[in-house]
Amino acid sequence: MSPAYALYRLPFADHYVHIEGVTRTLSNYVQLNDAVGFVVAPFELTSSQPIVVIRPDVVEECEFDAANGTDGANEAYRTDKPNESYAIDFANFHAQLSQGTFRKIVLARCADESLPPTVTLETLFFRACRLYPRMFVALVSTPQTGVWLTATPEILLDGKACQMRTIALAGTMRLEGEQLNGEGEHVSWSTKNIEEQRIVATYIAECLEHFADSFNEEGPRTVRAANLVHLRSDFTFTLPDSRHLGDLIGSLHPTPAVCGLPKRDAFRFIIRNENHPRRYYSGFMGWLDPQGDTHLYVSLRCMNIDGACCHLYAGGGLLRDSVMEQEWLETEAKLETMRRLLSS
């Protein structure tokens, strides 16, 4: 393959798209207004972590065998007790919530796993496609970003030209036992999860008021993603001018689902205090065409593959009543999404 390529499959699709091309780096979101190609954007935009757009010099739609998708019903390794670095980060972040500095803040962590020598990057991609039919799956490699694989349930922006949609996805519960046979329809949500999701939905609605002629909100409802369920609200809206898609993206990203509120202060606190830099985790990636189809997803449940080492990322939203052990287990459940792919 060329130095820059991407493979991606939309949720429930029976084919994937293969893109190769020259990369273009962008220093701000406004430059996305006239960009066309596969986009990889970081959580924090810096000179060493730019937005990268793969120009679609080669675009191929390819079929694959999507039969027997399980959405991850098998158990994977997990640890029940928080490690020392997470405990320190949690205490630091939670203190800010207790003091009233933030209404919500997201704490992320990184865990390293080995890539089995017999497993190729393409194997990981196809395993993710089969295991997680509900999710957006992408494998991308560029000289600027390195290699990243994601299987994410969260839409940042999706649609065609001026007819768009986005979602507010927050709140997490793990399915176990007989619950794995359903869609989470019998789950009872805690006040903490409901409040966390409402914070995200309110923020998105406020953003859309500045860009959309009108919008419609539906939800929240329970949706499944692998062994987890989340609360999701759907927003559909019409843009008066799709030439300002980059401005809207810059307003939405990062949403409180991966950052916090107040957004700017929470973002700065995360950058300064989180134990592991997020890099392209909790950024976004996908296909962008302001005059055509756009499919951008938040880069959750992802890993950076660096030789034989896989850096897995996961995070969770903290509120004042969050409990460290419960938040740790939530991140462990999210890490399972990528860990399942690494069996030889």
Q: In the chain, what percentage of residues exceed pLDDT 70?
A: 95
| 3-class state of residue 268 by DSSP | helix
pLDDT at 67: 53
The burial class, CB within 10 Å (0-12 / 13-18 / 19+), for 324 is: middle
pLDDT in tens, 36-89: 999 999 999 999 999 999 999 999 999 986 554 555 445 555 677 889 999 999
pLDDT for the residue 66:
59
Phi then psi for residue 135, to 5 deg, are -105, 160
Asked if 234 contacts 165 with a C-beta cutoff of 8 angstroms, the reply is yes
Q: Judge whether 319 and 171 are in contact, CB under 8 Å.
A: no
CA distance 50 to 153: 24
Span of 50-54, 179-183, 268-272 with lowest mean pLDDT: 179-183
| Cα–Cα dist 160/178, whole Å | 39
Q: Which of 312, 285, 332 is nearest to 135 (CA)?
A: 285
User: What percent of the chain stands above pLDDT 90?
Assistant: 82
Question: In the structure encoding, which two tokens stand for residue 8, read together?
Answer: 């991606």
Query: How far is it, in rounded angstroms, from Cα 45 to Cα 35?
Result: 17
pLDDT of residue 2: 55
Task: Answer whether residue 118 shows pLDDT above 70.
Answer: yes
Let me know the angle formed at the C-alpha of 239 by 136 and 299, rounded to the nearest 5 degrees: 25
Cα atoms in the Cβ-side hemisphere of radius 13 Å centred on 80: 0
* Stretch 264-288: mean pLDDT: 97
Residue range 6-23: mean pLDDT, rounded: 97
> How does the average pLDDT of the chain come out, rounded?
92
State mean pLDDT over 264-280. 96
Buried b (16+ CB within 10 A) or exposed e, 156-194: bbbbeebebebbbbbbbbbbeeebbeeebeebebeebbe
Rounded Cα gap, residues 93 and 316, in angstroms: 12
Contacts of 103 (CB under 8 A, 6+ apart): 97, 199, 260, 261, 262, 319
- pLDDT tens readout for residues 297-338: 999 999 999 999 999 999 999 999 999 999 999 999 999 999
Is the C-alpha dihedral spanning 16, 17, 20, 22 positive or negative?
negative
- For tokens 């850096």, what's the residue? 311
Question: What is the arithmetic mean of pLDDT over 184-194?
Answer: 86
Average pLDDT, integer, range 26-32: 97
Cα 177-178-181 angle, rounded to 5 deg:
115
The Cβ-side half-sphere exposure at 46, using a 13 Å CA radius, reads 10
The number of C-alpha atoms within 13 Å of 6 and in the hemisphere containing its C-beta is 31
